[in-house]
Amino acid sequence: MLFSKLLLPTLKDAPQEAEVVSHKLMLRSGMIRKVASGIYTWLPLGLKVLKKVENIVREEMDNSGAQEVFMPMVQPRELWEETKRWEKMGPELLRIKDRHDRDFCLGPTHEEVITDIIRDNVKSYRELPLNIYQIQTKFRDEVRPRYGIMRGREFLMKDSYSFNIDEESLQETYLIMRETYKKVLERIGLEYKISAADSGAIGGDSSEEFHVLAENGEDTIAISDSSEFAINTELLLKDGEDISTLEGKPSPDGNGTIQIKKGIEVGHIFKLGKLYAESMKASVLNSDGNASTLFMGCYGIGVSRLVAAAIEQNHDEKGIVWPHSIAPFDINIISIGYDKNKDIAKASTDLYKELSEMNYSVLLDDRKDGYGVKIKDSELIGIPLNIVIGKKFTEDNEVELIGRNGEISTNPITEIKTILDFFKNK
Ligand code: ATP
Ligand code: MG
């Protein structure tokens, strides 16, 4: 991709409304633009990152044995009446009417739709367990949309729903999802904690949240300084108790003491049990030939929120520092004098082709600007590696490699391939 052709409206300063660093940097680096409160357009650079996250999630879900579907965003009132959630949901559920005056809502989640499909189409325990997922736009009319796409009203979620014949089977699927979420976060390269969470009406240990650790996280979690133990402080605090009183207390798991951290909830796994299946009369025939109410689990990942969380955890004063796994481009060729010097233009284009053939995604900065402007933009948008073709190339056939992490080296252009093999394995 040529930089000069890319719709990449970078900003020197972040607009007033942006409070947290990820929101500021997403606006400044031209990844997103606001359309209305909590509703955003993803511009080309942002969309590349979003798709990378989405693909990692999809690959790991497929590897886990889950099956992808695509459900409608617009859902009829009747289904929501069955679970009584049409009344219960309150104003977060955006309700609309069609031309015949029939009620619909924009899906904030899809338990009703998927349970309806399964009860009509799955008849026997032999067809279970099933784990069905989708990656889709959700709408929740949040009271306080904020932090850009971190808490949007319209956002992208991977939601999945498992259907199991009994509690043991549900437990198995739950643990598979837990491992899958760990793989997703490890592949992206984020530091995270799995915290016991408030599971509302269901209670017990049937829900866990995945938190990306970051100062601007909306959740406060208590972690042990000497074990994996983590818990959302919502669960630990007694009425009126202050969070600061927890710090330094013995960890509830008996290992070490409590430390308080801020986290961004990027995933939530949940054992629903028979809750929805009972109200929607979803059952199958069990091995004795009797109707048996299904056990369900639900598992969500905030795909768009993960993009913001990755920035919260990976940035510096110059801009975003993408983990390689989700960087919008692997390499930026900064060509100095592209418009004036034929040798430089040719060397840049040749290198661009060569690297693209090696399956790198490459940006070629062909703009008239000087080195200062170009490196600043590249640092802002967080490209892992820059290759500068300029004066050193004309004089000595050498290019400069500048990593986003600050590593710099000067090398003959002919050695680029060897060096990149090293980069790829990093
Ligand atoms: P929160 O407590 O942040 O409101 P939630 O418990 O309502 O989250 P779930 O219903 O479990 O969230 O949804 C699954 C995932 O979807 C969450 O873990 C989060 O990553 C993401 N998510 C939820 N609400 C939003 C939102 N308004 N904007 C972006 N992502 C969201
Ligand atoms: Mg919520």
State the distance from the centre of ligand 1 to the C-alpha of 302, rounded, in angstroms.
Answer: 6
To test ligand 1's pocket by mutation, which of 192, 268, 276 has the most ligand atoms within 8 angstroms of CB?
268
Q: Are 380 and 10 in contact (CB under 8 A)?
A: yes
State the distance from the centre of ligand 2 to the C-alpha of 148, rounded, in angstroms.
Answer: 15
For 70, other C-beta atoms within 10 Å of its C-beta total 8
Do you find a cis peptide bond into 252, omega within 30 degrees of 0?
Answer: no
Give residue 212's pLDDT.
Answer: 98
Ligand 1 binding pocket (C-beta < 6 A) is 109, 140, 142, 151-152, 155, 157, 265-268, 300, 302, 304-305
Ligand 1: which atom is nearest the Cα of residue 153? 27
Give residue 234's pLDDT.
Answer: 86
Give residue 424's pLDDT.
Answer: 66
State the distance from the centre of ligand 2 to the C-alpha of 79, rounded, in angstroms.
Answer: 21
pLDDT band at 206 (very low <50, low <70, confident <90, very high): confident
pLDDT band at 31 (very low <50, low <70, confident <90, very high): very high
- Is the model's pLDDT at 417 over the cut of 60? yes
Which residues have CB under 8 Å from 395's CB, separation 6+? Answer: none
Q: Which two tokens stand for residue 280?
A: 């929607």
Give residue 204's pLDDT.
Answer: 45
Bridge partners of 230? 223
CA-CA distance, 156 to 51, in Å (whole number)?
11
Q: Are 379 and 318 in contact (CB under 8 A)?
A: yes
Q: Which ligand is nearest to the CA of 300?
A: 1
Residue that is written with structure tokens 């052709």 in the block = 5
- Can you tell me the mean pLDDT for 348-363? 95
To test ligand 1's pocket by mutation, which of 265, 301, 304, 312 has the most ligand atoms within 8 angstroms of CB?
265
E strands, 43-198, in order? 67-68, 74-76, 95-97, 103-106, 130-139, 154-164, 192-196
How far the first Cα of the chain sits from its last, in Å, is: 24
- Is the model's pLDDT at 200 over the cut of 70? no
Q: Which ligand is nearest to the CA of 141?
A: 1
State the distance from the centre of ligand 1 to the C-alpha of 169, rounded, in angstroms.
Answer: 26
E strands, 100-191, in order? 103-106, 130-139, 154-164
- Can you tell me the mean pLDDT for 144-150? 97
Q: Which ligand is nearest to the CA of 198?
A: 1
Name the 3-class secondary structure at 395.
helix
Give residue 241's pLDDT.
Answer: 84
Q: Which ligand is nearest to the CA of 90?
A: 2
Ligand 1: which atom is nearest the Cα of residue 152? 28
Ligand 1: which atom is nearest the Cα of residue 300? 14
Q: Which two tokens stand for residue 254?
A: 């008996």
- Can you tell me the mean pLDDT for 376-397? 96
**Percentage above 70 pLDDT, the chain:** 97
- Can you tell me the mean pLDDT for 19-24? 97
Nearest to 322 by CA among 382, 407, 404: 382
E strands, 121-213, in order? 130-139, 154-164, 192-196, 207-213
- Is the model's pLDDT at 238 over the cut of 70? yes
Q: Which two tokens stand for residue 1?
A: 């991709």
Q: Are 1 and 330 in contact (CB under 8 A)?
A: no
Ligand 1: which atom is nearest the Cα of residue 266? 20
The pLDDT mean for the chain works out to 95
- Residue whose CA is closest, atom 25 of ligand 1? 151
Q: Which ligand is nearest to the CA of 219?
A: 1
Instruction: Tell me how far the alpha carbon of residue 114 is from its chain's centroid.
Output: 23
- Burial class of residue 187 (count of CB atoms within 10 Å of its CB; 0-12, 13-18, 19+): middle
Q: Which ligand is nearest to the CA of 155?
A: 1
pLDDT band at 59 (very low <50, low <70, confident <90, very high): very high
Give residue 202's pLDDT.
Answer: 47
Ligand 1: which atom is nearest the Cα of residue 140? 27
pLDDT band at 426 (very low <50, low <70, confident <90, very high): low
State the distance from the centre of ligand 1 to the C-alpha of 208, rounded, in angstroms.
Answer: 13
State the distance from the centre of ligand 2 to the C-alpha of 92, rounded, in angstroms.
Answer: 9
State the distance from the centre of ligand 2 to the C-alpha of 178, rounded, in angstroms.
Answer: 20
State the distance from the centre of ligand 2 to the C-alpha of 153, rounded, in angstroms.
Answer: 10
Nearest to 334 by CA among 408, 419, 424, 396: 408
Residue that is written with structure tokens 């284009």 in the block = 349
What domains can you pick out in the chain, each with its CATH number?
Answer: 3-316 (3.30.930.10), 329-424 (3.40.50.800)
- Residue whose CA is closest, atom 24 of ligand 1? 151
Give residue 270's pLDDT.
Answer: 94
State the distance from the centre of ligand 2 to the C-alpha of 239, rounded, in angstroms.
Answer: 22
Q: Are 164 and 293 in contact (CB under 8 A)?
A: no
- Can you tell me the mean pLDDT for 102-109? 98
Sequential DSSP letters for 363-386: EEE--S--HHHHHHHHHHHT-SEE
pTM of the model: 0.96
- Residue whose CA is closest, atom 11 of ligand 1? 268
Give residue 50's pLDDT.
Answer: 98
At 71, the amino acid letter reads M
Give residue 416's pLDDT.
Answer: 87
State the distance from the centre of ligand 1 to the C-alpha of 160, rounded, in angstroms.
Answer: 14
- Can you tell me the mean pLDDT for 360-381? 97
CA-CA distance, 137 to 158, in Å (whole number)?
9
Ligand 1: which atom is nearest the Cα of residue 145? 27
Give residue 203's pLDDT.
Answer: 45
- Is the model's pLDDT at 205 over the cut of 60? no
Ligand 1: which atom is nearest the Cα of residue 157? 16
Lowest model confidence (mean pLDDT) among 37-51, 55-69, 195-209, 239-253: 195-209
State the distance from the centre of ligand 2 to the C-alpha of 210, rounded, in angstroms.
Answer: 14
CA-CA distance, 401 to 387, in Å (whole number)?
5
